[in-house]
Structure 1
Amino acid sequence: MSGLVTLFVSSPDTRSERRFDLQLPISQLKEKLELITGIPVGNQKLAIYHDDADLQPVKVFDDDQRPLGFYSPADFQVLKVVDTNPSITFTGQLTDLSGVDKFELSDEQYALRQDSVLAYKQRNKVGRFSEKTEPTPAPAMTVDIPIGSRCEVESTEPGLHKRGTVRYVGTTDFGSAGGVWIGVEYDEPMGKNDGSVEGKRYFTCAPKHGVFVRADKVRVGDYPVLDPFEDEEM
C-alpha cells in the first residue's frame, strides 16, 4: 500500500492534478483538500470516480481513519469533493454567473463604437479588412530533356550506374510538391514501376524498369547500354 497516486481533484470551484501518499489517513487528506478547494473539513464528502462523466462513484470515502490506499485509488481517477453545506462556504457561487448583469450591445451599436476591436481592425486593415492582393503565380519550370534521350540517373551507391531512356517529361498526379518529373525506363530492372503510378499510366515499360525522378537527378548524354559481363575475364 506504500507509494504515491496521482488524482484529479474536482470541486465546484476548482480542478487540479495532485499526488498523494497512499498511507495518508482520510482525515489528513481532507485537511489538504481544504487548502485546495476551500471546503472546510467538516463539510467534505469524498468519492472516487473513473472520470468526470461517471455518475456512480467507484468508492466513497466513509471512514476518516482509513488510509487513502484502503480505497485502492488508481492513477488519474477523479477525486470529487462535495460541499455538504455550500450556503455557508459559498461553494459554487464563484463560478455561477446567472445573477450577474450583462452589458450587451446590438450589432449596429457595436459597429458605431470607435474603441472596439472591430474599429481597430478596420483602421489598421487587419484580418478580413486587409487589402487583398492577387497571389503571384509561380514561374513555370522549363526542362530541356528530350523524350527518347539516353540518360544516367544519379545514384547514392558508389560505382552503380543507373542508365536508361527518357520516356516522360511533365507534371504528374502524384507528388505533393508538384513541378516537372522525368520518367525513365531503366536498361535493367532496378526501377519501381512499369511507367504507371497509382493507377495512371505515363509511359510503358517492363515491370521494375520504370522510375520517376526530378530533373536535377538526370544527366542526358551518350550513355550506351552497359554490358554486365564486360569486366569478366575470358
Structure 2
Amino acid sequence: MEDFTVHLTSDLTSSERRLSPDWTVEYFKHRVELITGIPPEFQKIWIYRTNQSNDRHELDNSLDVKTTHLDDLNISPSTRIHVENTSSDPDLLELQKELLESNSSNGGEELFKLNEQRYDELPNTVKKWKKESKLGRYDPKFREQKEKLLRESDEIADNISVDDRCKLSNKSSSSFRLGTVRYVGKIPEINDEGTWVGVELDEPFGKNDGSIKGKRYFTCRQNYGSFVRPFVVETGDFPPETLNLDGSDEDEL
C-alpha cells in the first residue's frame, strides 16, 4: 500500500497529513504529538469511516504500538483522524484554553504553537524523552554524525544532474515516487546545511510548484514539486508511467 493522506484534527489543530502504512502506531503517536502538542499517553484517537461521516471508532488501546502498523488498522485514504486530549494536567489545559482563545481571535487559522519555555514545563514530552534517552541532537555524538551525513549527502549529490530521471524512496516506507531532477544545490529557505534536490514528480504527490517561501528554484504544476535530500534519490532509466486512455484495452483489468 502506498502513502496516503488523512485529515488530522484536534481541538487546536486541523491539517492534511500524509501517512505511511509502514509506520508503527508508536511512531505515528509521536508524530501526532509534534503536530497537536498532545503527549502519546494522553491521546485518544478516533478514526472516522470517511471524512464526511460521523461513524467512527476509537483506536484499540490494547494494541501493541511497537509492532502494529498503520496498514493493520484499515484506515481509509482521505478520511479523518481526530485526537482527543485526555490529560487533566492543569498547565496543559490552561495552555489549551489560551491557544483556543488565540485561534478564535485569529479566525482559527493558527496552528499549534508553543514557546520553548512553556513546552519545557510540560511533563512527558517527546523532547524530555529524547533528552533522557540521549537521542537525536541530545546525543553527544550528534554533531559529528550530522556532519558525516552531510558530507556523504554532498558526495551523492555530485552524481545527480538536472534532467536526470529519478526514483525517490526512503527506509521508513516501501513506496516510491518517480520524477525528473530540476534543481541540485543549497536552499537557505529550508536551512543552510547540505545540498537539496528539487524534483518534478510524475504524479501530484508533492508539496509545491518548485518554489519555497516565495523563492522559485524550478517551475512545475502545483503539488508536483518536491525538495528532498540526495540520499533518497536514485537516478537511472525510470520512464514515466503512461496511462492508456484510448480505450483499446478496455477489456483488460
Tell me whether the two structures share a fold, i.e. TM-score over 0.5: no
Q: Which has the higher helix share?
A: 2
Shorter-normalised TM-score: what interval? Answer: 0.3 to 0.5
TM-score scaled by length of structure 2: 0.34
